[in-house]
């Protein structure tokens, strides 16, 4: 049986093939920089989430988090206005796509940010678990931490059958091609800023989460998963709850798994 402790141990760099020794060591020395008083920024991609966004932003512990940026993808409802009222910075990105919204928000984070947390706008991710998500980075045990809904738990109905199957298939394929078994592509995650910069994210659609996970492996970063609770969302699903959403997300995830092979 798979043990949690095995999965939460840092990964060896078995599959990392840095282009040169110097790239590898420079990156690693950056990743392992100690963080005396960490500055944490949260990025929330959102599309028409007026029913949840305000509560999500307000539930974030401002003692822990210095900045909250919502990447609004041209919502036609009051998402942007409510996010601002709750204390978030809002950037409107007209180019539709989860990755496009994350990238636009990323461009706005303060240059002194040490750790970036990504979370969804629909109330699925538990704000109380954010400290556990960033802890392995602050404790110098990891550079990327994925909140795994498989190691943790999903409320009844929070994950649709296509979502579970897609996760299983994608993580299997990633294990075959990249020799590391993730259990999940969970959107709730924390990443060291220097690693995120080194990754040079390109995806603008639903390959965003996969690209981050695979590029982290390729760069020899320490990745771990921690258990996450996945709650039933507020409002309507844009991705896993619709046939076109599932098809598009599935396509971009598979496309990204193969596209990343070329970036080794």
Ligand X SMILES: Nc1nc2c(ncn2[C@@H]2O[C@H](COP(=O)(O)OP(=O)(O)O)[C@@H](O)[C@H]2O)c(=O)[nH]1
Taking the least distance from each CB to ligand X, the nearer of 50 and 218 is 50
Which tokens is 35 given?
């963080």
Neighbours of 111 (CB within 10 A): 6
Least separation, in Å, of the C-beta of 206 and ligand X? 8
Residues 122-141 that bind Mg ion (CB under 5 A): 122, 124
**107 or 176, CB closer to ligand X?**
107
Q: Which is nearer to ligand X, 192 or 233 (CB)?
A: 233
Contact map string, positions 16 to 55, toward Mg ion, x by CB under 5 A:
----------------------------------------
The CA dihedral of 132, 117, 233, 215, to the nearest 10 degrees, is -100
- Asked whether the beta carbons of 147 and 235 are under 8 A apart, the reply is no
Is 238 a residue that touches Mg ion (CB under 5 A)? Answer: no
Q: Cβ(133)–Cβ(145) under 8 Å? A: yes
Residue 167, SS3 per DSSP:
helix
Residue 209 is a binding residue for Mg ion (CB under 5 A)? no
| Shortest spacing between CB 239 and Mg ion, in angstroms | 7
Q: How far is the CB of 222 from Mg ion (least distance, A)?
A: 27
Nearer to ligand X, 18 or 235 (CB): 235
Take residue 44 and report the two structure tokens written for it.
Answer: 């929330």
Minimum separation from the CB atom of position 38 to Mg ion (A)? 27
Rounded to 10 degrees, the C-alpha dihedral 68/72/78/84 comes to: 20
Least Å distance between CB 138 and ligand X? 25
The answer to whether 97 and 205 have CB atoms below 8 angstroms apart is yes
Q: CA torsion, points 10, 152, 130, 147, in degrees to nearest 10?
A: 50
Name the binder of 97 from ligand X, Mg ion, none, CB < 5-8 A by kind. ligand X
Give me the residues that bind Mg ion (CB under 5 A), please: 122, 124, 233
């Amino acid at each position: 049986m798979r043990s949690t402790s095995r999965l939460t141990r840092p990964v060896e760099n078995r599959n990392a093939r840095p282009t040169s020794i110097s790239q590898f060591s420079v990156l690693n020395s950056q990743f392992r920089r100690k963080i005396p008083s960490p500055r944490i920024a949260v990025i929330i991609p959102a599309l028409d989430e007026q029913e949840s966004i305000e509560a999500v932003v307000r539930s974030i512990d401002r003692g822990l988090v210095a900045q909250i940026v919502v990447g609004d993808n041209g919502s036609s409802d009051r998402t942007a206005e409510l996010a601002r009222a709750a204390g978030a910075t809002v950037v409107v990105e007209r180019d539709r796509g989860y990755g496009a919204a994350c990238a636009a928000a990323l461009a706005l984070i303060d240059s002194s940010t040490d750790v970036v947390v990504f979370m969804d706008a629909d109330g699925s991710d538990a704000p109380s678990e954010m400290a556990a998500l960033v802890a392995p980075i602050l404790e110098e045990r990891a550079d990327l931490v994925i909140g795994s809904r498989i190691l943790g738990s999903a409320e009844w109905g929070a994950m649709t059958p296509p979502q579970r199957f897609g996760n299983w298939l994608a993580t299997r394929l990633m294990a075959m091609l990249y020799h590391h078994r993730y259990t999940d592509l969970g959107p709730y995650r924390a990443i060291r800023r220097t690693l995120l910069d080194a990754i040079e994210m390109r995806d603008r659609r639903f390959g965003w989460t996969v690209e981050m996970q695979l590029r982290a492996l390729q760069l020899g970063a320490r990745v771990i998963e921690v258990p996450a609770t996945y709650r039933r969302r507020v409002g309507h699903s844009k991705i896993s709850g619709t046939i076109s959403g599932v098809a598009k997300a599935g396509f971009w995830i598979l496309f990204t798994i193969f596209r990343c092979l070329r970036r080794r």
